[in-house]
A and B are shown apart, each in its own frame.
Chain A
Amino acid sequence: MSRVPVERKVLSENDRIAAGLRADFERQGTLCLNLIGSPGAGKTSLLERTLAGYAPDGRVAVLTGDIQTDNDARRLARFGFPVRQITTGGTCHLDARMVEQALADWRLQELDLLLIENVGNLVCPASYDLGEAAKIVVLSVPEGEDKPSKYPAIFFKAALLLLNKIDLLPYVPFDLARARENAQRIHPEMEILEVSCATGAGLDAWQQWLKERRVAAASVGR
């Protein structure tokens, strides 16, 4: 028996497709963001609020992943932007091939911003690169401040933590300072924004965050 070293990522095929997508996004100046969070954390509500803030010529599109139903796509389509549902049929995450197929007949040069809503899950989506410029983790107040410690992978990989449902702080035991501390112990450089998609609190800062990155992505592309 002899041992031969191999250097190869387990998800090398996914990573290869993701690298192709990333190159396309960068070339076209499209900012692609991958939103990850538990079921019910408020990912779709965040997208509704976000899309509502854009003019009809906003050059924005959404891919939304779920195991079953196209409920989210129907919720989001009413804002008039291109929305496509990816129904995984049981798979607990999106992978790069699903994104590539969903984008096949879309013209990226017409988009400045592509928002991908992953399947509701704090675990599996963290492993799959979709070619995004950044992962964003959405954590809601009722889930508890210990979630970064329990699900470190996604908090380690996300560039931004959106702490959602802060309007519920008076009603549920949630230690905001502890939540921030838990998240920063996993990932000291991660940005954190506190928002409420119910009241709109903090969403200006989120829109500003998006705007700055859109400008940066557009200046790199084209």
Chain B
Amino acid sequence: MHELSLANAVLTAVRSEAAQRPGLCVRTVGVRVGELAGVDPDALSFCFEALVRGTDLEPLRLAIEPCPRRHRCSRCAHTFTVVDYAVTCPACGEPRTDCIGGDELELAYLEVEEP
């Protein structure tokens, strides 16, 4: 259960991004969470809300964008979403494919408005 530390890291990042945009209120922070990131989105949301409550960041909202595991075929360059750990290329049958996404844990965007 490290989602509290992660929620806190999101807020630190929001504060630092907000400081670069004086005069604007951040209403929503979008965060990408990959399925291989080892992060529970519900726990992250719960911790985030608890940390925001009663602070000057209220009513800041967290929008989680789940990211599936994506692979690229090493032979035919086809890219595909991996379902149930099936990493073989569905286009050409090549078993060797490279992971190109799915472990994201990153800020994607801020929704801001003038107060």
Contacts and interface: CB of A to CB of B under 8 A. Distances in A.
Interface residues of B, number: 35
A9 B38 contact: no
B110 to A, nearest CB: 5
Contacts, number: 93
Nearest to A185: B85
Interface of B: 1-2, 5-6, 9-10, 12-13, 17, 21, 27, 30-31, 35-39, 85-87, 95-96, 99, 102-103, 105-113
B70 to A, nearest CB: 13
B38 A123 contact: yes
Determine chain B's interface SS by DSSP, over half rule: mixed
A157 B87 CA distance: 16
B43 to A, nearest CB: 11
**Pairs of residues from A and B, 4 with the lowest C-beta to C-beta distance, nearest first:** A153-B38, A124-B2, A185-B85, A8-B107
Contact of A186 (B27, B85, B107): B85
A2 B36 CA distance: 30
B98 to A, nearest CB: 9
Contact of A185 (B13, B87, B105, B106): B87
Interface of A: 1-14, 91-93, 95, 123-124, 126-128, 149, 151-154, 156-157, 185-186, 188
Given A127-B38, A153-B36, A188-B87, A6 B17 contact: yes
A1 B36 contact: no
B10 A92 contact: no
Contacts of B12: 13
